[in-house]
Structure 1
Amino acid sequence: MIYRKASEKLLELASYFKVVAVVGPRQSGKTTLVRSIFPHKPYISLEDPDRRRYAIEDPRGFLGDFPEGAILDEVQRTPELFSYLQGIVDDKPTTGQFILTGSNNFLLQQSITQSLAGRVGYLQLLPFQLAEIYSKEEEVPDEDSLMLNGGFPPIYQPGIPTHLWYPNYLRTYIERDVRQVKNISDLIVFERFIRLLAGRVGQELNLSSLGNEVGVDSKTIQSWVGILESSFLIYLLRPHFQNFNKIIVKRPKLYFLDTGLVSFLLGIERKDQLKTHPLRGALFENLIVTELIKQRTHQAQEINLFFWRDKTGHEIDVLIDEGVDLIPVEIKSGKTINSDYFKNLKFWMKLSGQKKGMVLYCGDQSQSRSDGVKVLNWKGYFYSD
């Protein structure tokens, strides 16, 4: 079993909260993690029709079977349980009584907000971080392999080939999870929407343009985007709220939370296809952004990432908000440092008054420049600890 960096944080949350909710996309390793951390707790999958029926029809009896608590897997399937769960956990001072997992954040948070607010610690578990799969920088394969494979655990253990795993993952997601949230009548159109979305990775999300291509109105597109967000397939990177000038864009940028899934949706199966693909740079940017997101979510921290772009074409790929400081990050898929890497950084740093910036790229040379900009190999940045 591959060690998850979220393990210690999960134990910490269970020492403070009576209930801990571990949320994330289907097949991200939630069940494996919670069962390994809490091996003595009874485990109940609410995907099981008989268990789910028992929980829905007799919630008191169902929960009464677990006086010391339990792991309730895919608990968003039984929202009826939450009101009864509140009474049970309130009767005992013990922390870490129930461990809940869920693959739909909207359904789970809706139920928790109504019944368990203030009693639950949250941990978002996404697919593997690179530092979980590969123990040190020298072992990390090239970025093209990483973009093709993604980070979902079954790709690594037991090692299912990507061309077999991703089509089945997409089919299961659309046929089961999407219908659980919203009764979409034409799933073929919804699948076409997901594939079109993959072609916009790293771009601003334009609902009207997408609606025209898919053949539905922008409100429907907004609803469908919400489904993908709540089930942890995509992440919308918001523009930073602080106006350094008055002409910044307001639409979010779109990223998928797994580059292997994007590659599959784009029909990219081999490294030679990826090397010349027009979206290679956007896919590499997606890889870096998702790694930055995982660093935060796997420690139960709020995501502190934004982007900045004005309407004259100046853009910063990522702004890391550290409270007092904003760190601008430019992400480049090239291997050779050139002056174009620094144009937007210099413009933004002069505009904002910030003194530090960073370029993450695929080359081997590192630089600490006199203007406060550091140039780092992306592997060195993520493996610097």
Structure 2
Amino acid sequence: MTYIKRDMEEYLISMSKKFPVVTLTGPRQSGKSTLARKVFPEKHYVSCEDPDILLFARQDPRGFLKTYENAVIDEAQKVPEIFSYIQTVVDQRDQPGQFILTGSSDFLLFEKISQSLAGRTAVLRLLPFSLGEISPSHPREDYEDYLFTGFYPRIYKMGIPAQDFYPGYVQTYVERDVRTLKNISDLGQFQLFLKLCAGRTGQLLNMSALANECGISHTTVKSWISLLEAGYIVFLLRPYHQNFGKRLVKMPKLYFYDPGLATYLLEIQSPEQLHTHYLKGALFESLVIVELIKKRYNQGKQMNCYFWRDKTGNEVDCLIDRGASQIPLEIKAGRTVSPDFFKGLEYYVKLAGDSAARPCVVYGGNANQNRSNADVISWNKIEDLLS
């Protein structure tokens, strides 16, 4: 497959002209190395996954950085010793774009960045393909195909069936990386935990209930969720706490960054099975919200999505925070627009008043509509919402 241009390219180039170090992080197999090598073909490329490179960097960090003085250093968090040496090198040269560091673990990377490279590096987060990146070359009529296949580049680059890709991904990356970060003795229990998390996609995260069902402590659940967040497997969508005179839900909602991984953990066997699956709506919701996050990350911005729900059950799936106003967004997997799509939006707009921007509905159909009470946007035209 030919190289698929990533939306982050321009921002990555821009940051390399302003900072001596650019750190590119994100989940395993999201395309970090491919992007860095494509954008910076003139730089040496060294991977710390290579045992010889790893040994060289650990035993002789000064010699390593002298040898690769203008380089892309892949999986840099595996050699935490070199970060303080990188600081010395970049301070001496005082030039932008000296090193491009990539890594898959937020915990290890950011601990070292905060210690040694604070103020010297731009930090970018690259997630798997967005719909806008992959749909031109791999168009799908039904969104269920994307929910089942997911968005990891290797699936598309090598033509790997999703049911063959995800077992190895979980075993090789998720389990290995997690065990590197934390000594988990019972891997079977962790695998159960992963599947239980997938079953809670799009739901409020009740850690006590999850702990009871998995047979572990509340503290362990909190620790394991943090590990999955650090590895870009899951994220927590926080509630928007603006108080409109109602008691609001305070628990976050749990989502997977990649719907294909979630469907694999749910043991869904085909896109057709998704048509009637009880979690189809939640998986569709996650696809849309992650598209919003990818757009922000590709521009070097922080996530600005929340949800809103009061204690009586009134809810808006997503609030896009734009500072002075918030865009209320309802996400519906149905392919036909229904009056029910607008109920939560109408309630919220009435409550929020001037702070609510024009509401939107993203749905499973194919036609955009400009209705009097909201904009209705097709799932395959999410770019219209983001523009």
Q: Do Structure 1 and Structure 2 share a fold, with TM-score over 0.5? A: yes
Question: Which residue, 8, 13, 18 being the options, matches 2:15?
Answer: 13
Give the distance between the partners of 2:75 and 2:171, measured in 1 at CA.
18
Please report how far the alpha carbon of residue 227 of structure 1 lies from its aligned counterpart in structure 2 after TM superposition: 0.4
Q: Distance between the aligned counterparts of 1:214 and 1:359, measured in 2?
A: 36
Measure, in 1, the Cα distance between the counterparts of 2:168 and 2:102.
22
Alpha carbons 2:366, 2:380 under 8 Å: kept: no
- Check conservation: 2:329, 2:361, Cα contact below 8 A: yes
Query: Once the 2 structures are TM-superposed, how far is the Cα of residue 175 of structure 1 from its aligned partner?
Result: 3.9
Deviation at 1:156, TM superposition (A): 0.4
In the alignment, structure 1 residue 376 sits paired with structure 2 residue 377 = yes
Matched letter for residue 84 of structure 2:
S
Q: What is aligned with 2:182? A: 182
How far did 1:383 drift? 5.6
Distance 1:383 1:139 in 2: 17
Counterparts of 1:211 and 1:8 in 2: how far apart (Å)?
A: 43
Match of 1:293 in 2: 293
Q: Which residue pairs with 2:118 in the alignment?
A: 117
CA contact (8 A) 1:328 1:345 kept: yes
SS in structure 1 at match of 2:194: helix
SS at match of 1:197: helix
Contact 1:330-1:341 at 8 Å conserved across structures: yes
Pair 1:194-2:156 in alignment: no
Aligned to 2:232: 232
- Mind listing any 5+ residue stretches in structure 2 that lack a counterpart? none
Q: Paired residue for 2:358?
A: 356
Counterpart in the other structure of 1:276: 276
How do 1:121-136 and structure 2 match up within 5 A? 121-135=122-136
Q: Distance in 2 between matches of 1:200 and 1:317?
A: 15
> Cα distance, 1:271 vs. partner?
2.1
CA 1:210–1:370: 2 relative to 1, 3 Å: same
Corresponding position of 2:87: 86
Conserved? CA contact 2:316–2:328, under 8 Å: yes
CA pair 223-115 structure 1, distance change in 2 beyond 3 A: same
Gaps spanning 5+ residues in structure 1: where? none
Equivalent-residue separation in structure 2 for 1:369 and 1:43 (angstroms): 52
In the other structure, the counterpart of 2:337 is 337
Question: Cα distance, 1:249 vs. partner?
Answer: 0.8
Q: Does structure 1 retain, via aligned residues, the 8 Å contact 2:47–2:74?
A: yes
The range that moved more, 348-357 or 320-329, is 348-357
- Give the residue type in structure 1 aligned to 2:342: F
Amino acid at match of 2:30: S
C-alpha distance in 2 between matches for 1:303 and 1:41: 31
Summarize deviations over 1:42-83 as a string: whole Å, max 9, x none.
Answer: 11111112221221222112112123x211100111111111
In the alignment, what sits opposite 1:243?
243
Could you tell me which of 64, 79, 97 is aligned with 2:66? 64
Q: Distance in 2 between matches of 1:169 and 1:282?
A: 22
Give the residue type in structure 1 aligned to 2:39. Answer: I
Deviation at 1:323, TM superposition (A): 1.3
1:364 & 1:245 partners in 2: Cα distance? 38
Q: What does the per-residue CA deviation read over 1:73-123, in whole Å, with 9 as the maximum and x for residues that have no partner? A: 001111111111101000112101000000001110110000000111111
Asked whether 1:163 is paired with 2:143, we answer no
Aligned to 2:262: 262
1:355 deviates by 4.7
* Counterpart position of 2:308: 308
**2:300 and 2:253 mapped to 1: Cα distance?**
23
SS in 2 for 1:79: coil
RMSD (CA atoms): 1.5
Q: Retained in 2: the 8 A contact 1:174–1:191?
A: no
- In the aligned structure 1, how far is the partner of 2:51 from the partner of 2:243? 52
Which consecutive aligned stretches of 4+ in structure 1 deviate over 4 angstroms post-superposition?
none
In 2, Cα distance between equivalents of 1:190 and 1:141: 36
Q: Is the 8 A contact 1:131 1:383 kept in 2?
A: no
Name the CA distance, whole Å, in 1 between partners of 2:57 and 2:141: 46
CA 365–45 in structure 1, closer or farther in 2 if over 3 Å, else same: closer
| Count, aligned residues | 382
Structure 1: distance between partners of 2:274 and 2:103: 33
Deviations 1:309-365 (A, max 9, x none): 111001110000111110000000111222211111111111111251011111234
In 1, the alpha carbon distance for the partners of 2:27 and 2:297 equals 13
Check whether the contact 1:174–1:187 (CA below 8 A) recurs between aligned residues: no
Does the 8 A contact of 1:365 with 1:376 survive in 2? yes
Matched residues in 2 for 1:121 and 1:87: separation?
17
Give, in whole Å, the separation in 2 of the partners of 1:214 and 1:60: 47
Alignment-mate amino acid for residue 123 of structure 1: L
- In structure 2, the CA distance between the partners of 1:365 and 1:176, relative to structure 1 (3 Å rule), is closer
| Per-residue deviation, 1:282 | 0.7
Alignment partner of 1:146 is 2:139? no
Contact 1:314–1:344, Cα closer than 8 Å, also in 2: yes
